[in-house]
Structure formats: structure tokens, C-alpha cells
Amino acid sequence: MNIMDFNVKKLAADAGTFLSRAVQFTEEKLGQAEKTELDAHLENLLSKAECTKIWTEKIMKQTEVLLQPNPNARIEEFVYEKLDRKAPSRINNPELLGQYMIDAGTEFGPGTAYGNALIKCGETQKRIGTADRELIQTSALNFLTPLRNFIEGDYKTIAKERKLLQNKRLDLDAAKTRLKKAKAAETRNSQLNSARLEGDNIMVNFSYVLNFLHVKWLKSEQELRITQSEFDRQAEITRLLLEGISSTHAHHLRCLNDFVEAQMTYYAQCYQYMLDLQKQLGSFPSNYLSNNNQTSLTPVPSVLPNAIGSSAMASTSGVAITSPSNLSDLTECSGSRKARVLYDYDAANSTELSLLADEVITVFSVVGMDSDWLMGERGNQKGKVPITYLELLN
């Protein structure tokens, strides 16, 4: 029974406090009550914390969009995260594209120029997909997680203490208002007491009223001192928490550096993968240019150092590779030679011969032909081939 009485009293006290705060807040909005202003330093800290929270949320959400453009996948990952379960692994877009290319190249035939190129491109796309997966994992761990911890942890604590500070301020201002009213009432009654009144009963009753108002005034003063002390203490707690925002910025800066490093690693890997792929495929096929109504240019691989460039190349597997001077010698004679193909090449038209890397063909010169080209022969197939794609064999 005593516990029930205590709960009822506590409930009534809480309801009274809530009503007092609501009245004070409403009167402030209507301009009928004074409001205690926070000091400028504390206001600046509150503004800095709010600004940090807003921009951290925006950066975090846009980073998630950058790393995972699919909104359905983001929602699925969010649900699994809230359920504290690991999201199932899914194939990403580069990996899926790579698999399609490999399947298509296999069906067209690895021995064909187009099929072989598709397979090589597909393998590169898969490697890019793996690098993309590593970027997402690293960025989520080193960048997104600290930002999310701030929003869901540190800032929630700041917001809680800030709300508590607001309540303590309302209590303080309500106590100030009550004290002000008590002083005004006592002043009016003191003025009436100074007037001469007839009748003992009237004087007795009036003295009782004065004593009651004086006690109420003293109680209001005591309440004001208590609310002022609680407000000052809460303001100090809030200030200490807000001053930690500078440390948060420093921590987020380190996380940002980690994110930039992860991106740098990812783009460097992608660049290297594409550079390697370009070396395998050679330069852009000349028929790409002809399809755009441009003059067909002599294809030159992007990376040719030492491919046919050393003055004397060592023999490998018993096959001697000629020096570049032999290439020019061949263009000046009519004899045929064997040559190994360095890069894949797609014929631009019917006068040219498509090539596959590492195959061996027969080449010879034709009087009047451009010095950058030789005539190539593979079985019954014959056509022009670019000289920079070849290594002549003895």
C-alpha cells in the first residue's frame, strides 16, 4: 500500500513538473514569459554538434549510394544488419558482366579473335569485381562504421543531455516566474497592511494571509536556488560532451584518409587490370575508327618497349628471335619468314588478316606495300598484317 502511495505521489509530481514546463514553454512562445539564454560558447558548441550530425548523415548516406548503387540491395543489407545476421553474398555487376563475356567467348570459340577477346575481357571484369568487393568491405569498416557509430552513439548521448538541459532551463524559468509572482503578491499585500483597517477579525485574517505569502515567497526562493544549481550542473555536463566534437572531427579525418587510400588502391588496381588487358588486346582495332567514318590508322600497341626493340634478343626454347633490322630487311626482299604474333588483332577489312596472340604465321613482303605492313599467310588465309605485332623467327 505504501509503495502504491509512493507511485501515485511520484506520478502526480511528474505530471505537475510536466505541466509546469508546458506552461512555461507556451508562455515563452507567446512572449509572456522570460527565457534564460545559454552562454555564447555553449550555443556555438550546440550549433557545431548539430552541423556535424547533419553533414555526417549526408556523407554517410551518399557514400552508401556510391558503394552500392542498387537501393534494393541497400535495404536488404540494412534489414540483415538490424537482425544482426550476415547478408548473403551476391555477385556484383562487374563480375556478372565478366561471366557473360566469358560464356559468350566460350560459345563463339576461344580460337576466334572475337571469342578470345571476350574471354580476356571477362576475366579482367571479374578481377575488377573482386577489387570492387574489397573496396566496399574496406570502406564500410574504416569509414562508414565510425560515422554510423557517431550518429547512433555519441550524438544520441549529446541529444539526450541537450534535451535534459532544455528541461532544466524550463524548470529554472518557471521557478523564476513563480518567485516573481510571489514577490509581487507580497508587495501588494504589504501595501494594504500599511493602510488602517478597522476590526480585529480583519487584521487577524490579513496577518495570516501575509504570513502565508511570506512562506510561499521563501519556498519559491529555495526552489529557485535548487533549479539554478541543477541547470548549472546540466549545462556543464552538456558542455563537456559538446567539446568532444573536436575529437570526433579528428577521428573522422583519419577515417577519411583511410577511405581515400582504399579508393586509391581500387582505382590503381583497375587501371593496372585494364592496362594489362590493353597489352593483351593490342591497340584499338582499326575497324573501330572505320565504323565512325574516320580514316583507318595503322594500329600501334600502347606498350611496345623491348617487344621488338632490343638489338639482339635472346633465344628461347631453341628458337632465335631476330633483331628489328631483320624486319626492315624482310620488307626489302621477296622471301618468306615465320613470325610469332605478339598481340591479338582484328582485321579492319577483307584485305587484312586477323591475328591471335602467340600463333605462328608465314609473312613476306610485297613490292609497293607500306613499310609498316607485311603480307601474312595462315593456311589458305592470306592478308595484310601490321609489322609491329610480329616477332620474326629464324
Of 325, 328, 326, 353, the closest CA to residue 341 belongs to 353
Grid cell at residue 274: 585494364
Residue 17 has pLDDT above 90, yes or no: no
| CA–CA dist 60, 245 (Å, integer) | 17
Q: Which CATH superfamily is domain 17-283 in?
A: Arfaptin homology (AH) domain/BAR domain (1.20.1270.60)
Residue 211 has pLDDT above 60, yes or no: no
In this prediction the pTM is: 0.60
pLDDT of residue 104: 96
Q: What is the pLDDT of residues 236-247, one digit of tens each?
A: 999 999 999 999
Is the separation of the CB atoms in 360 and 339 below 8 Å?
A: yes
**Residue ranges, CATH 2.30.30.40, the chain:** 337-393
The residues, ordered by sequence, that sit 6+ positions from 272 with a Cβ below 8 Å of its Cβ are none
Domain 337-393, CATH among 2.30.30.40, 3.40.190.10, 3.30.365.10, 3.20.20.70? 2.30.30.40
pLDDT of residue 151: 95
Q: What is the pLDDT of residues 333-359, one digit of tens each?
A: 457 889 999 888 888 898 999 999 889
User: Cβ atoms within 10 A of the Cβ of 368, count?
Assistant: 5
**Residue reference for cell 557545431:** 48
pLDDT of residue 177: 82
Task: Label residue 174 by pLDDT band (50, 70, 90).
Answer: confident
3-class DSSP state of 336: strand
Taking all residues of the chain, what is their mean pLDDT, rounded to a whole number?
78
**Residue ranges, CATH 1.20.1270.60, the chain:** 17-283
pLDDT of residue 199: 46
Greater model confidence, 40 or 6: 40
| CA–CA dist 243, 222 (Å, integer) | 32
Phi, then psi, of 376 in degrees rounded to 5 = -110, 150
For the chain, give the percent of residues with pLDDT over 70. Answer: 72
Positive/negative CA dihedral, 158, 160, 166, 172 = negative
Positive/negative CA dihedral, 108, 110, 111, 116 = positive
Q: What is the pLDDT of residues 286-335, one digit of tens each?
A: 443 334 444 333 444 443 334 333 333 333 333 333 444 444 444 444 57
